[in-house]
Amino acid sequence: MDFYLRNREPVDRSIDADVARSCTNKQQYASEGEARAIATMQGMSGSLFTYQCRYCEFWHLTRRPTSSGPPEIIDG
């Protein structure tokens, strides 16, 4: 994220607003599995979805459905 902010040119306020909304104001997770585990532990697995951030490349949680959708249930 810091690299992106230091090396962007020119400054675009709409992109800055998108970065703030979709990245810097959210918790970062190293993997999709970690993000989904946190959502499950919070009891929000059906309400929160994961996405990989285009700015920082970490994973975040969102309330908006994403193409990844909810995790498949695997019977053990």
pLDDT digits (tens, 9 = 90+) for 2-40: 666 666 667 677 777 777 777 888 999 999 999 999 999
Q: How far apart are CA 7 and CA 46, in angstroms?
A: 37
Q: How far apart are CA 39 and CA 33, in angstroms?
A: 10
Q: Is 44 helix (H, G, I), strand (E, B) or coil?
A: coil
pLDDT, one tens digit per residue, over 34-63 is: 999 999 999 998 889 999 988 889 999 998
To the question of pTM greater than 0.85 for the whole model, the response is: no
Residues facing 29 on adjacent strands: 59
Give the Å distances, CA to CA, from 12 to 2, 8, 24, 35. Answer: 16, 9, 16, 29
The residue type found at 17 is: A
56, HSE (Cβ side, Cα atoms, 13 Å): 20
